[in-house]
Amino acid sequence: MKKNPFPYNMFSIIFSLIILLLLPIFIKNPYFLDIAITVLLYAFLGNAWNIVGGYCGQASLGHAAYYGIGAYISTILFLKFGISPWIGMIVGAVFAGVLAIISGYPSLRMKGPYFVFFTIGFAETIRVLFLTWKWVDGSRGIIIPFQNNPVNFIFFSKIPYYYIILIFLIIGMFITYSISKSKIGKYSVAIREDETMAKALGIDTALYKSYTFAISASLMAMGGTFYAQYVLYIHPNDLMSLNNSVIFMLIAVAGGKGTLFGPLIGSAILMPLWEYFRSTLGGRFAGLGILFAGSIILIIGTTAPEGILGILTKIRAKYSISKDNIVGEEK
Partner 1 sequence: MREILQAIVNGILLGGIYSLIAIGLSLIWGVMRIINWAHGAMVMLSMYITFFAYSMFKIDPLLALPLVAIIMFVIGYLLQIVLIERTLNSPWISRLCATFGLMMLLESLALLLWSSNWRAISVTYSNWTFCIGGIFISFSRLVAFSIALLMALVLNFFLNHTEIGKAIKATAQDREAAALMGINVNNIYRITFGLGLALTGVAGASLMTFYFVFPKVGFPFALTAYIVCVLGGLGRLNGAVLGGLIIGVAQSVSAYLISPEYKMVVSFVIFLAVLYFKPEGIFGGVTE
User: Applying CB under 8 A, does 280 fall inside the site for partner 1?
Assistant: no
> What stretch of H or E contains 233?
strand 233-234
Residues of span 108-127 touching partner 1 by CB under 8 A: 109-114, 116-118, 120-122, 124-125
Our finding on whether 140 is near partner 1 (CB under 8 A) is: no
Site for partner 1 in 52-111 (CB under 8 A): 53, 57, 59, 106, 109-111
Is 197 a binder of partner 1 (CB under 8 A)?
no
Task: Give CA–CA dist 241/264, Å, rounded.
Answer: 22
Of residues 167, 182, 301, 320, which one binds partner 1 by CB under 8 A? 301
Stretch that binds partner 1, among 9-17, 86-94, 230-238, 284-292 (CB under 8 A): 284-292
Query: Which residues make Cβ contacts (< 8 Å) with residue 179, sequence separation at least 6?
Result: 51, 55, 185, 188, 212, 215
Looking at beta carbons only, is 150 or 287 nearer to partner 1? 287
- DSSP lists the bridge partners of residue 234 as 142
Please tell me the count of residues contacting partner 1 according to CB under 8 A: 47
- Name 221's Cβ contacts closer than 8 Å, sequence gap at least 6: 66, 67, 69, 70, 71, 73, 89, 92, 93, 95, 96, 97
* Class of residue 303 by CB neighbours under 10 A (exposed 0-12, middle 13-18, buried 19+): exposed
Closer by beta carbon to partner 1, 30 or else 305: 305
Q: Which of 239, 293, 308, 309 binds partner 1 (CB under 8 A)?
A: 293
Instruction: Select 282 or 328, whichever has its Cβ closest to partner 1.
Output: 282
Nearer to partner 1, 14 or 291 (CB): 291
- What angle, rounded to 10 degrees, do the helices at 287-303 and 262-280 form? 150
Assess 17 for contact with partner 1 (CB under 8 A). Answer: no
Radius of gyration, CA atoms only, the chain: 20
Q: Please select the residue that binds partner 1; options are 201, 299, 315, 317, rule is CB under 8 A.
A: 299
Residues 6+ apart with CB under 8 A from 165: 37, 40, 41, 44, 226
- Select 121 or 150, whichever has its Cβ closest to partner 1: 121
273 binds partner 1 (CB under 8 A): no
Residue 314 binds to partner 1 (criterion: CB under 8 A): no
What does residue 37 show for φ and ψ, rounded to 5 degrees? -65, -40
Contact positions vs partner 1 (CB under 8 A): 53, 57, 59, 106, 109-114, 116-118, 120-122, 124-125, 128-129, 131-132, 242, 246, 249, 253, 257, 284-291, 293-303, 305
